[in-house]
Every structure is written in structure tokens, then in C-alpha cells.
Structure 1
Amino acid sequence: MMCEKMAEEEEEDGRPEVPDYLSAKYTGSFAYLTVTDRLPRILTKAIDTVHRHKDIFFEEHGQEGVEAEKRAIFLMSKLRNELQTDKPVIPLTDGLPDADQWNKYLERQQARLDTEENPSWFKSSWLYMECYMYRRIYESLQLNPPMCDFDVFSESKIQSFFESQQAIITICTYLQELKEKIEAFKDTQLKAELLLLLQVALWGNRCDLSISAGQENAQKFNPLTSLESLKPFILIDDSEFVWELLVNNKKNKTTETVRTRVDIVLDNSGFELVTDLILADFLITSRLADEIHFHGKSIPWFVSDTTKRDFDWTLKKMQTANHMRMSRSGVVWENNVKKGVWIYHDHPYWTLPHEFCDMSLVAGDLYAELQKSNLIFFKGDLNYRKLTGDRKWSYTVSFDTALRGFQPAPLCSLRTLKADIQVGLKPGQGEQLAVSDPEWMTSGRYAIIQFSNPCQI
């Protein structure tokens, strides 16, 4: 694999040695707590969801639906047992287009170990095993038609959206009022609004159902009133670089045919997705961008991650909302999609276990697509883990170093911390935080707006 080869070269040329993966083998780590507690709870909830829909499966598909439900529950229960007893990872058998990539990845992991021991839940990379669990949940349904299209996480995502509705109304109202006067804004005002909406999108990332193991996790208060008090919790704030890049692109356009493209690699559906759409709307309205490309997941993933179905459902619910500000936003957003100003992508690479420094080798077409962007926002914790390889980096290692060659375009991570990895901090900053707040890396209380530009390396 490219990243493993790079690790050897980095050790030889004197650059920082690439550390080990985060893993449940480190007892007491957040990875360990995830594998022992959170993942089994997510599986149990998925099994319960399938069982509760037994009557619906019967109504729609007769006895065939009931038998499919039983087999799917059996496979997910087996998966839970494998996880809890640290069984070896087994190949996928559903024959879907990505199964071969998954099985090749397993073979490479086996080769890396150089022992009789196979990759397993408590010994292998946490990133790999967590991704593998969601892919196996999906396999359990794919092997049991007519249940293939059933999303075991859909109910939780829908509930999270409706429980956040008052907060959604608040930010939609703010956006609509902002757009009514934006034409008269000077750069200083545009900059202030961009930085504010970046923070709204940043803190929207706290609504994460995979971290809460599918339990209620919605935005129930006005997100705008808390922004000032949350600023001290942004450990790295590179939003000035984001502004400079976008405003310079806007000023330096040579012709009307030159288009500024911004990509947003999405994380959670529900409230967070709406904050991303709000940001995208502002970028288009302010002419800081001419087109927005959204990247979501091709299958249900990490409980609340955005799929095409979630994206389309959200636009529909926004359009048909009873509140005028919500519905007006939904109509504008649907028109952006129809006009090709907003484009949705769901490349299968986003639901493979690879860290992103493998992308140019494994998914060259996706890497080439991202190279067309002027700026890529990576939302959330999982994307940050894949950007940095989910490794035990020193706090002070630079973001560029941790990216290990992944530089398709200028990029910015918007992330609330929910995994024990963070790079780019000042000397002593991480240690001080560990003393004042032992859970600072995993609680979602802290956040980063972290920027990298390949042109400046």
C-alpha cells in the first residue's frame, strides 16, 4: 500500500517516524472503549430496529420478508459475537463491487502482521475495524433480499432532524435575512459572516449519532447565541486562511468563465447537514464560490453519515416545512441542484477502510476530481481520522506531515474532537489540556478549523 511504503521512506530520510495506528489493543484508550462498549450497542440497536420492522417486512413481502428479517438478524448477531470475542476478520461474501477492495485490504493487513495471527477486533487498527463493522451490517442486509434497501439507521437520522427543527429555523432565518442585504456588503462584512457560518458548520458536527451509539443527539438550542462563548474551545482556528483563499480567488478571476469550486466532504445528516447547506448557500450568494460539490456516503455509514437518500430527503423536508424560512431555503437549494450549481457525489472510496493518503492509488478518479477544487472542506471526526491515518501522532506534528502526501487541493478540516488524535498544536498545549480536561480529545467539547495548502508547502 502507498501509505505503508511512504512510512518506510519517511523513516529513512529523517522525517518523523510514522506512529502506530490507534487500536483497541491499547487498553483504556478511546478505541478500546469504542470496541468494548459503543460498537456492540450500535449493533444491538440495529438488530432491534430490524426486528421491530418485522410486520412491515411481512406486509410488503409476505413470508419471504419475515425469513429475510430472521436471516439478517442472525448475521448481525453473529457479527456482534465475533466483535465481543475478538474473532479474526473474515472476508466479505456479498459480491458487491467494493467487496474485492475490502478483501484485498484484509489480505494486506494479514501480510503486514508477519505472524500466524489474523487481523481481529481488538488487535487491528481501530479505523479499519470500525469501518468493517458498518460494511458487515450492510452485507447482512444485502445477502437477504428483499431487505437490501433497508437503512437500519434511518429512523435515528429522521428523529435527529425533527428534534433539531427549532435550531434549523433559527439559522435559516439568519441566512434569509443576511441574503436580503448581502449585495451591499463590503469585504469586512463578508468576512465576518463567512467566519460566523464556518463556526455554525463546525459546531454542527457535535450532532453525531455514532458517538452517542444511536441515542438522542440533536441541536435543541439557538446555535448562534453560543458561538462567542465557544471560541475559546477552538484549539486551532485557520479560518483567516480560508477567507484569504476564497476572496483572492474572487478578486483574481480573469473571465466570467473561470469558476471557483468548493467541495464539502460531508459527515452527519440532520442538523449538521443543514449547517453545511447554509454555508454552501452563503458561498454561492456571496460569489465566493460558483459551484459546490458535496461528497456523501454510498451506503448507510457510522449511524448518521449522509447518503444520497438523506441528502434528497432533507431537501424535500426543507421545501415542505411549515415555516416560511425553512421552506424558502429548501426551494433555493433544490433549484441549485437542478441548475447544476450544487452537485452531489457518492464515490465508494468514502466507505472503504483506507486512510486518505492511499486515495491517489486506490481511487485515482476521485483524487483527480478533488484536484479540480479550489478548496475542500472535510467535515467531522471520521474524515479527520482518515486524513491523518488515525495514528498516535505527537500533538505538535504538523497537519501537512500527518497528511502524508494527500494534497489534491487546499483543504480545511472542520471537526469537533471525538477521537484521541490531534496534530498541529502548540508545544505543551495538548499536555495542558490533558491536565485541565482529561476527556478533551473525545468529548466533542473542543474543535478545530485546520487548513492546509499544497501551494505553501
Structure 2
Amino acid sequence: METPDSLSAKFEGSFAYFTVKDRLPQILTKVIDTVHRNKNKFLEEYGVEGIEAEKKAISFFSKLRNEMQTDKPILPLTDDQPDTHIWNRYLDYQETLLGKGEQPSWFRSPWLYVECYLYRRVQEGLLSSPPICKFDVFREAKNESFFQSQPAMLALCTDLHELKRNMESLSRDQSRKEFYRLLQVSLWGNKCDLSISGGLDNSQKSSILSSLESLQPFILVDNMESLWNILSKSRDGSTEKDSRIRVDIVLDNAGFELVTDFVLADAILSLKLVSEVHFHGKCFPWFVSDTTRHDFNWTVRQCLAANHKWMSKCGQTWKENLEKGCWVYHENMFWTLPHEYCSMADTAPDLYTELQKSDLILFKGDLNYRKLTGDRKWDFTVPFSQALTTFHPAPLCSIRTLKADVQVGLRPGIGEQLTASEPDWMISGKYGVIQFSPTV
């Protein structure tokens, strides 16, 4: 099958067009506002140098916003980070694709590339404004979203305590149902995405647990049974006694979603479905609310310090899991590159080799889905495994609520029916998938 076109803002009226025209400039405006509001903090910490850095960063981001809004050519990076040459080589590659001396630009290039490029340029703007280089322009929004979601988190932590209290008496079928339940919690946790909301409050204010049954019809692809079949082997004794079952979770948003991922990871360890969980986060602030190492550790500390018995107990357990090594956090700069995942084996062979050690990889969220499928205008019925092209390090599953106009692996007619009845079904976050692909 011929590879379809990349999604791009050149297609007027598309979600990519709306993103580059409206959403991304809004996000940059919030970045500028955040830097300016922290002016006094920079003055206190760094003196006059801090004020100069604030001015320099704001000037950089204002210029960047203008470049985007006026469809200027994509510029090479000028900093000296370990990934700079990879980004600039990728820009050269984009130029060769266009040919005829045409330059890649914000509205004419693939949406996946320019959106990733925006966040890398935000990083460049901070790096070129010492001494505020390490300032996370999205941290305030992430922290606020965490605290806004606290009632829903308390309900989850209490529910997890109840599950663990009764774990010894659970039958195989009851364990399976609990696994399915917490997978769905992790799925709907993906609704809380600050890049989609433009950095506006998008927290989970009420418990998601009571809504699971009513949300079930909105799961368009439900491959939970395939995941259970992989993980239940260890519980049933059909794997060798000494062999360790490893699950990798490629994280998406900090805040409520991250807590749903922690709860799922805790439960599958406690249910003896896995022996280790490996988490993969971003090296620097990315797509507003994506999880960095700081966000990961901060969330564990916040839960531990919570004035709530079961949330604090969860924080303690998660801290111990990290200390014991049954939870492991990884960083790799590949996750903050613009590449589709089918190029991982060539671009980041160390990461590909690491993922090959996994028994099951869970990819959370929309950006991961876009990179898995190449962010292209696939037909709705193209099999998921086919859209992955050459990316098959281990059995994998995408867990996402739909917030970008790419979706594969649907039954014939479903995509067309939804398009006719709900034109924005692919971008509203109302629908979700738990979509599995075995190793090919």
C-alpha cells in the first residue's frame, strides 16, 4: 500500500491547520505571560541578570510566534545541545523531500514535525537566556492541574487500597476484571491534556471510577484481552519460575493521567502480573504537560506528603518501588525528537534495544499514537500493525483518547458513520482506544 500524505497545516480546515493557526500561538502567548509573571522571582534569584534574561526570552518567544503566524521558513537550531545536529539534519531531510529549492515552513511542513519543533525552539529560547535556562515554563500549569485533580486522585488511591486489601482472595476472573478496570482508568486519564486545552485548566475534578460503565461504548478499539493474555501467563505459571515479566509505559501527561498510570503500575505488580515496570519520560518540558523526570519524582513526593491516609500510603509504596528497582524511570532524547517511531532502530538503537527487553509496551496518549502511525492520512480500516510499518520491538499497545485526526484499525464503516454524525469525533477526546499490536 502506498504511504499516505502526512497531516499538515497546508490542508486548510484540518485540525493541523487550526493547531498551527490558533492553538500553538496561544500556547506561546501563555509562555510569554508565564516568563513575564516570574520577573520578580528572576530578580530575587539572579539580580539584574535575571531581568535581562526575562527580556531576552520574551523577545525570542515573540519573534518565534511571529515566524509561525506568518508562515516563515523553519530555521536551524543554533544552540549546542546533544540533539542539535539531529534536528538540523532532520530539517535538511525535510528540504530534500520538498525539492525544487522550496523551504520547509510552519504551514507547509508535516504537522508532527512543526509541533515538535515548536517545543524544541521553546527549549532553545530558554537555553539562550541564562541564567533562567532551566526554568520550566509549563510547570505552574502542570502543578495547578495536579492540585485541581486531587479529589479524583484521592478516590483512586482509596480504591487501590481496597483492591490490595482483598487481593489474596481474588479469583482469576476477578483479577482480570480489576486489570480491565484500571486500564480504562488509565485510558480516560488521558483526557487531561494541557497542550490540547492550550494550557487552560483541563483537570479531572470528579472520580472517574463511577463513569467507567457509561464510557465503555466510546472505546472504539478494545484489545484488553490481548494484554491480559500476555500478562496472565506469569500468574498462571505458564512462564518459567525465574523469568521476570516486564511492562514498559511510555508516559504522556503529568498530573492526573500520571497518577492513573502509577495506580495501574502498582496494581499489576500487586496482582503479580508483572515483576517490573519501566517508565519512559521526556528530557525537557514538552507539549505543555508531558512528564519529565522532575514531574515524575515531584508527583511521588506530593502523594507521599498528602494529608490523606491512602494517598500518602500510595506515595510511600511508589517511593519504595523505585528504591527496590521494580519501578525504573528512563530518559532518552529520542522521545523529544520529531522522528516517527519506525526510525527508532536507526536513530536511537540503544532505546530500541531497551524496548526489545519488554514483554509489553504501553504507549500513552495522542503524540505517541501520531509517532507510531507516522501522523498520516491513513484509511480508518488500515490495520494498526501495518501503520506501524517497521516498528515492532515487542508486543505493544496504544492507550489514547482521540485528539488528533489520525485513527487506524477500525471496523469497516465506523469511521465514516462517526464523521457523518460527529464531525469532530477524532479531536474531541470523547472516544478512546486500547489498541494492540503483537510482535511481527
TM bin (shorter chain): over 0.9
Tell me which of 365, 371, 390 is aligned to 2:350. 365
Say yes or no: does 1:432 pair with 2:417.
yes
Residue 183 of structure 1 corresponds to which residue in structure 2? 168
- Correspondence 1:346-365 to 2 at 5 A: 346-365=331-350
Tell me which of 334, 339, 363 is aligned to 1:378. 363
Alignment deviations for residues 424-449 of structure 1 (CA, whole Å, 9 cap, x no partner): 00111100001111110000000000
Would the aligned equivalents of 2:247 and 2:358 in 1 still touch at CA under 8 Å? yes
Residue 80 of structure 1 corresponds to which residue in structure 2? 65
Deviation, 1:210, is 0.2
Residue 156 of structure 1 corresponds to which residue in structure 2? 141
Would the aligned equivalents of 1:293 and 1:343 in 2 still touch at CA under 8 Å? yes
Tell me which of 194, 210, 233 is aligned to 1:209. 194
Deviation, 1:254, is 5.1
Residue 71 of structure 1 corresponds to which residue in structure 2? 56
Aligned AA for 2:254?
S
- Correspondence 1:39-54 to 2 at 5 A: 39-54=24-39
Tell me which of 93, 97, 100 is aligned to 1:112. 97
Aligned AA for 1:168?
M
Residue 60 of structure 1 corresponds to which residue in structure 2? 45
Measure, in 1, the Cα distance between the counterparts of 2:129 and 2:9: 31
Measure, in 2, the Cα distance between the counterparts of 1:104 and 1:121: 17
Measure, in 2, the Cα distance between the counterparts of 1:179 and 1:390: 40
Would the aligned equivalents of 2:152 and 2:206 in 1 still touch at CA under 8 Å? yes
Would the aligned equivalents of 2:233 and 2:239 in 1 still touch at CA under 8 Å? no
Aligned AA for 1:129?
V
Residue 12 of structure 1 corresponds to which residue in structure 2? none
Residue 453 of structure 1 corresponds to which residue in structure 2? 438
Say yes or no: does 1:289 pair with 2:274.
yes
- Correspondence 1:171-320 to 2 at 5 A: 171-252=156-237, 255-320=240-305
Say yes or no: does 1:344 pair with 2:334.
no
Alignment deviations for residues 19-38 of structure 1 (CA, whole Å, 9 cap, x no partner): 01000000000000000000
Would the aligned equivalents of 2:78 and 2:84 in 1 still touch at CA under 8 Å? yes
Aligned Cα RMSD in Å? Answer: 0.8
Deviation, 1:73, is 0.7
Deviation, 1:184, is 1.5
Deviation, 1:253, is 5.3
Alignment deviations for residues 187-231 of structure 1 (CA, whole Å, 9 cap, x no partner): 100000000000000000000000000001000111011100000
Tell me which of 73, 87, 90 is aligned to 2:75. 90
Deviation, 1:360, is 0.2
Deviation, 1:293, is 0.2
Q: Secondary structure at the match of 2:328?
A: strand
Aligned AA for 2:90?
Y
Deviation, 1:68, is 0.7
Q: Secondary structure at the match of 1:226?
A: helix
Alignment deviations for residues 304-333 of structure 1 (CA, whole Å, 9 cap, x no partner): 000000000000000000011100000000
Alignment deviations for residues 135-169 of structure 1 (CA, whole Å, 9 cap, x no partner): 00011001111111100000000000000000000
Residue 131 of structure 1 corresponds to which residue in structure 2? 116
TM-score norm. by structure 1 comes to: 0.95
Residue 4 of structure 2 corresponds to which residue in structure 1? 19
Alignment deviations for residues 231-287 of structure 1 (CA, whole Å, 9 cap, x no partner): 000000000111111112433455443100000000000000000000000011011
Residue 13 of structure 1 corresponds to which residue in structure 2? none
After the TM superposition, which of the residue ranges 109-118 and 171-180 deviates more from structure 2?
Answer: 109-118
Aligned AA for 1:319?
L
Deviation, 1:186, is 1.3
Hey, which bits of structure 1, 4+ residues long, moved more than 2 A?
249-257
Residue 125 of structure 2 corresponds to which residue in structure 1? 140
Measure, in 2, the Cα distance between the counterparts of 1:333 and 1:249: 22
Would the aligned equivalents of 2:234 and 2:272 in 1 still touch at CA under 8 Å? no
Measure, in 2, the Cα distance between the counterparts of 1:306 and 1:234: 25
Deviation, 1:49, is 0.2
Would the aligned equivalents of 2:20 and 2:106 in 1 still touch at CA under 8 Å? yes
Residue 423 of structure 1 corresponds to which residue in structure 2? 408
Aligned AA for 2:138?
F
Which runs of 5 or more structure 1 residues have no equivalent in the other structure? 1-15
Q: Secondary structure at the match of 1:144?
A: coil
Would the aligned equivalents of 1:250 and 1:260 in 2 still touch at CA under 8 Å? no
Would the aligned equivalents of 1:68 and 1:146 in 2 still touch at CA under 8 Å? yes
Deviation, 1:179, is 0.2
Aligned AA for 2:389?
R
Aligned AA for 1:192?
K
Q: Secondary structure at the match of 1:408?
A: coil
Count of residue correspondences: 440
Say yes or no: does 1:37 pair with 2:22.
yes
Q: Secondary structure at the match of 1:119?
A: coil
Aligned AA for 1:425?
L
Aligned AA for 1:65?
G
After the TM superposition, which of the residue ranges 137-146 and 263-272 deviates more from structure 2?
Answer: 137-146
Deviation, 1:91, is 0.6
Would the aligned equivalents of 1:360 and 1:367 in 2 still touch at CA under 8 Å? yes
What's the % identity of the aligned pairs?
60
Measure, in 1, the Cα distance between the counterparts of 2:339 and 2:234: 32
